[in-house]
Amino acid sequence: MFDFATRLLRKYHPAPAFDLDTLKRIHADYLASAAVHPDREVWLRDINDSEFARDLISRRAGKKDDDLSWTNLLLNLLQNNRFEPHHDDFAGSMLAAAADALLRAGRATEALSFAELAFAHSIYDLWVQRVLTAVRAHARGTPEIVDETEQWLKTKFCSAPFDTVETISNSQMAICCPLWLPVSIGGFKDKSIEEALNSKSVQLVRKSIVDGSYRYCSRVHCVRITERDLPSRESINLASLEATVYPKYVTFSHDQSCNLSCPSCRGHVVIVPKSQRDNFISIPDFLLPLMLNAESVKICGSGDPFASWHFRSLLKAYCSHVGAHRNIVLHTNGVLCDQRSWSALGLSTFVKTVMVSLDAAEEETYSYTRRGGQWRRVLDNIRFLSQLKIRGAIDTIELLFVVQNRNFREMIDFVHLAKSLGADKVLFQAITNWGTYSEIEFEEHNIFSLTHPNHQALLELLNDEIFDDPIVDLFSVGKFRKKFFK
């Protein structure tokens, strides 16, 4: 499995070896969070038994513990030789190990580039995130924030693992946003909802909430943590949560079909072909009961509901069901969200919120951020939604904006645009690399990296009083405005 990495390391045989003590430490941390990836323990066993590890050990002899020259070798290695996709976790862990070693040596500024690059390789990995959080805190001169966050979590409670389900790719399920809590609880084709919500994985996650460790939760992605937006554990009746049969909050993200190919999301248009639609035929038997018993059903977190044959069929089936009620939240790019689709699916009394992603306040920027979209058509469709809201057919309209280097200077204008269109909320999200960018490309777009040349300009822009407006939700961007992060 690691022949490719071995060949790369042998290419640099004359150079100093990596720090094996750091590797051993990273292995221990990985074992502690093995639930993040179902095959993590197998992966670790393969690494420990591999020729790669033995080669490192043999080259480690005689190396001084305080010699960190291996970090420069590592960065050079990764910048000049791309790891194959199945080595991404390895590359991220090695970069995080380098950042951790530099941080422990009191070299936080040098550690920052390693930590950011490690995160770009492994956005789901909790150990990589812990290193990134510590490095960022030290680089900002606020190292105390890490311990403060952990102490704060011990006094708070999150109900998501008790009342939330999200369907994800490959017919898997999660009990929170899989980016916030990257633990799969099994497949929805081979389990009942009762079995899924009482699996060993679910019990472990719930235990981590109860004991205040939150060991499976992301301190980087979870907005409830970064924004300090969790209720006191004293106000929660835990027994009532455990007794819940069906989750209150459901999100469907198992179909990636979308009519656009936004650069921050995907490299090309994805539409599930007819040859694969049979995979979705039996799914409604599982999904409809979830929808009927939920307070909120978001469709979808993976593409566009109007571009998906499966989600359109599911919506039509739900809206014609005698037990259907107003609990649908539609997340769409807005291009196909018009009167024709609304009538064809029978949505008139069952949608409570429509979320439209725009990522721009100007047509030229929109043509880039929402590749394949039609600016004027989308604005007309939002006006149509506004009329539905006036008539009481829907409750709220939210406009979304993924913040990146290309568009961050339009954030203020976007708030004004949203108000002019009758939106109830403006939601700002930080850009994430979903594998569509190379490391170098993402460095250019990631305005949230402390090393980005325009990062300070972003912080200054966020000081504008318009972001105090009740219509604005800074979501994952908010942590960059908080005083304790400056």
Task: Determine the pLDDT at residue 278.
Answer: 61
Same domain, 133 and 148: no
Nearest Cα to Cα of residue 425 among 376, 475, 378, 464:
475
Same domain, 108 and 163: no
Q: Is residue 252 part of a domain?
A: no
Nearest Cα to Cα of residue 220 among 125, 113, 129, 97:
129
Collapsing DSSP to helix, strand or coil, 141 comes out as coil
Same domain, 384 and 410: yes
Tokens describing residue 144:
């105390």
The residue among 247, 269, 299 that closes a domain is 247
Q: What CATH code is carried by the domain that includes residue 400?
A: 3.20.20
Task: Determine the pLDDT at residue 66.
Answer: 46
Nearest Cα to Cα of residue 100 among 187, 193, 23:
23
Q: Is residue 253 part of a domain?
A: no
Task: Determine the pLDDT at residue 105.
Answer: 83
Same domain, 69 and 100: yes
Q: Is residue 27 part of a domain?
A: yes
Same domain, 97 and 160: no
How far apart CA 424 and CA 397 sit, in angstroms, is 5
The residue among 111, 139, 167 that closes a domain is 139
Give, for all 486 residues of the chain, the pLDDT tens digit: 233 333 323 332 222 233 444 444 444 444 444 444 445 455 445 444 444 334 333 333 333 344 555 455 555 544 544 433 334 456 677 777 778 878 888 989 988 988 988 888 788 888 889 999 999 999 999 999 999 999 999 999 999 999 999 988 777 889 999 899 988 787 776 677 778 888 888 888 999 999 999 999 999 999 999 989 999 998 888 777 766 678 999 999 989 999 999 999 988 898 877 666 666 665 667 788 899 999 999 999 889 999 999 899 999 999 999 999 999 999 999 999 999 999 999 998 999 999 999 999 999 999 999 999 999 999 999 999 999 999 999 999 999 999 999 999 999 999 999 999 999 999 999 999 887 887 778 889 999 998 899 999 999 999 999 999 999 999 999 989 864 343
| Domains: count for the chain | 3
Same domain, 295 and 309: yes
Residue pair 264/434 in contact by the 8 Å Cβ criterion? yes
**Residue 422 structural domain:** 258-485
Same domain, 199 and 228: yes
Tokens describing residue 62:
């005689």
Q: Using N-to-C axis directions, what is the helix angle for 144-153 and 126-139, rounded to 10°?
A: 130
Contacts of 331 (CB under 8 A, 6+ apart): 298, 299, 300, 301, 305, 355, 357, 400
pTM for this prediction: 0.79
The DSSP string of 361-416 is: SSHHHHHHHTTT--HHHHHHHHHHHHHHHHTTS-SEEEEEEEE-TTTGGGHHHHHH
The residue among 90, 106, 139 that closes a domain is 139
Task: Determine the pLDDT at residue 90.
Answer: 60
Q: Is residue 451 part of a domain?
A: yes
Same domain, 335 and 434: yes
Same domain, 16 and 161: no
Same domain, 200 and 290: no
The DSSP string of 441-458 is: HHHHH-TTSTTSTTHHHH
If you compute the radius of gyration of the chain from its CA atoms, what whole number of angstroms results?
Answer: 23
Same domain, 274 and 386: yes
Same domain, 344 and 446: yes
